[in-house]
Each structure stands twice: as C-alpha cells, then as structure tokens.
C-alpha cells in the first residue's frame, strides 16, 4: 500500500470514528427531573437539619427539590400519587423513597408499589418491600427497620433529624427501577400505598426519569463522482464527458503509480 492509499484510509477511519462518537453522545440517557407539585406538603426542613434543596444531584442523578417539600402517602385525598408526562425511549426511573413509622413488625412486608405506564398501554409494577428496597427515614430510631437488602435502593444523603422528630441519624434513599423493555414511551409514574395496618407511611421526596433522545439517521454527503450506467448505452453516451466513479478510481490509482515511479531527486555536489 502506497502513501496515498494510507492517507485515504486514515481519513476514512477518522470520519467513521467521529460518526460513532457522535452517535454515542446523542444516544446517551438524560435525567429529566419531575416536580412533585402541590401534593408535596411536608417541608424537608421540618424533618431534616440542613436537607438538600433546589436543583440537586443525588446518587449521580438530577432531582428537582426546589419546593422544599415531600409527598407523604396516604395523603388526605388518597393512597396513591401519579405523575404524567411523555418520556420517549425511557430507560429508568429514580425515586427518593423512605418510610415513616417503620416499626420492626413491618420487616419483609410489601407496603406499596411503583407502577410505570407506557404509551402502548403496558405497565410495569415494582413492590415496595420493607427492609428490601425501602426503609425508615430516621435510621437512628430504635425498634424500626433501618437496613436495606435490595441493591436497587441506595443511600444518597445522610444527615440528622430535627430534635422535634426525635433527632439522630436520618437518610434519603434512592430506588432505581429499570425499564423492562427498550424503546417505549413512559407516560405515567404512580406510587401506591397498599399498607392497611398501623401507622406506617411512604415518603416520596423526589422523582426523575432517564430517557434517550432518538438518534438521527446520518445524512450522506454529496457524491464525488457520477456512477456509470452499465446497461444504458444512450445515457452512457450522453455522459461520456462526465467524470465517473470508475474514472476517478483509475485516475487516482494512475497518479499514485506515477508518483511512486518517479526517481528520487539526486543531490548535486558542487564542491
């Protein structure tokens, strides 16, 4: 392979690499924080000392905590809370979730669900199991379920509970729910409180959705030459002065050969 061919190959490789990199960036998942709205009525500051506020990143994901409030289920209006939207190619949902009054007798109990609804009418439901993927917010309390067994939920913030709430260590946990099927549009996230016994409540402090922007189809650039009409003599005759692809390839090859065949310049010694 001569130098000219190597140069062409290198250019093609660089172009292809650039297209791959661009496609990767375009297809990257993006966080879409969801405001909890008017159902969020309990101030973070009433429970936590110096809690996170505003547009924050917790557990590597963006959340909108600008209201400074959380939703506690059941609310005065019901045992579930839904958030509607349109999230194409949704890949995951992240919820800041804990429980309140999580006494030890709730260990292992399913006290709620998170249901994802998609535009095609299908749903995906995740159980909220005490000690599995959800636990007490005030882990410094005694006689409560303060640990997690499911890696889908991780602790993303730790601090101290207000003295009026009992003080001690307090946390915010994040539950990750991956979309079971790719390429769907998520339309609703619903958190349900299904507990029918005792004083346990579910606290939703934040919600964000990961979706992926559609990758555009690459647009080919203009052709550098005109393809020959192999079986159409009339068109071939009409375009006999047009530079065709075969002619271009031959010209390039001939130029490369001529360049390689030229003798090297001989240095003169004038001494």
Per-residue pLDDT of the chain (271 residues; tens, 9 = 90+): 554 544 444 444 333 444 333 333 334 569 999 999 999 999 999 999 999 999 999 999 999 999 999 999 998 889 999 999 999 999 999 999 999 999 999 999 999 999 999 999 999 999 999 999 999 999 999 999 999 999 999 999 999 999 999 999 999 999 999 999 999 999 999 999 999 999 999 999 999 999 986 555 565 555 555 555 556 566 556 556 555 555 544 545 444 545 555 555 444 444 4
Tokens of 163: 């003295």
Answer whether 244's CB lies under 8 Å from 236's CB: no
The secondary structure of the chain as a DSSP string is --HHHHHHHHHHHHHHHHHHHHHHHHT-EEEEEE---TT--EEHHHHEES---EEEEETTEEEEETT-EEEEESBTTBSEEEEEEEETT--EEEEEEEEES-BGGGTT-EEEEEEEEETTS-EEEEEEEBTTTB-BS-TTSSSB------TTEEEEEEEEE-GGGT-SEEEEEEEEEE-SSTTPPEEEEEEEE---STT-EEEEEEEEEEEEPPPPPPPPPPPSSBPP-TT-HHHHHHTTTS-BHHHHHHHHHHHHHHHHHSPPPPPP---
**pLDDT of amino acid 77:** 82
Angle between helices 3-26 and 245-261 (to 10 degrees): 130
Q: Where in the chain is the domain with CATH 2.60.120?
A: 28-212
- What is the CATH class of 28-212? mainly beta
Q: Are strands 69-73 and 169-178 parallel, antiparallel or unpaired?
A: unpaired
């Amino acid at each position: 392979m001569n130098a000219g061919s190597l140069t062409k190959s290198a250019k093609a490789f660089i172009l292809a690499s650039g297209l791959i990199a661009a496609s990767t960036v375009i297809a990257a998942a993006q966080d879409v924080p969801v405001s909890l709205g008017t159902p969020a009525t309990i101030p973070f500051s009433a429970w936590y000392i110096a809690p996170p506020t505003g547009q924050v990143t917790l557990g590597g994901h963006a959340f909108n905590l600008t209201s400074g409030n959380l939703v506690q289920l059941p609310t005065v209006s019901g045992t579930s809370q839904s958030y509607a939207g349109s999230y194409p190619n949704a890949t995951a949902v992240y919820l800041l979730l804990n429980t309140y009054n999580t006494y030890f007798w709730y260990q292992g109990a399913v006290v709620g669900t998170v249901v994802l609804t998609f535009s095609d009418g299908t749903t995906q439901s995740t159980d909220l199991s005490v000690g599995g993927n959800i636990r007490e917010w005030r882990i410094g309390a005694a006689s409560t379920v303060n640990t997690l067994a499911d890696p889908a939920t991780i602790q993303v913030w730790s601090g101290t509970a207000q003295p009026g709430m009992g003080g001690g260590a307090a946390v915010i946990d994040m539950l990750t729910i991956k979309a079971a099927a790719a390429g769907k549009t998520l339309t609703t996230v619903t958190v349900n409180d299904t507990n029918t016994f005792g004083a346990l409540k579910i606290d939703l402090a934040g919600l964000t959705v990961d979706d992926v922007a559609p990758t555009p189809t690459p647009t080919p650039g203009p052709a550098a030459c005109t393809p020959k009409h192999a079986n159409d003599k009339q068109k071939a005759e009409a375009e006999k002065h047009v530079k065709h692809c075969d002619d271009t390839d031959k010209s390039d090859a001939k130029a490369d050969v001529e360049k390689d065949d030229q003798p090297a310049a001989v240095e003169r010694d004038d001494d």
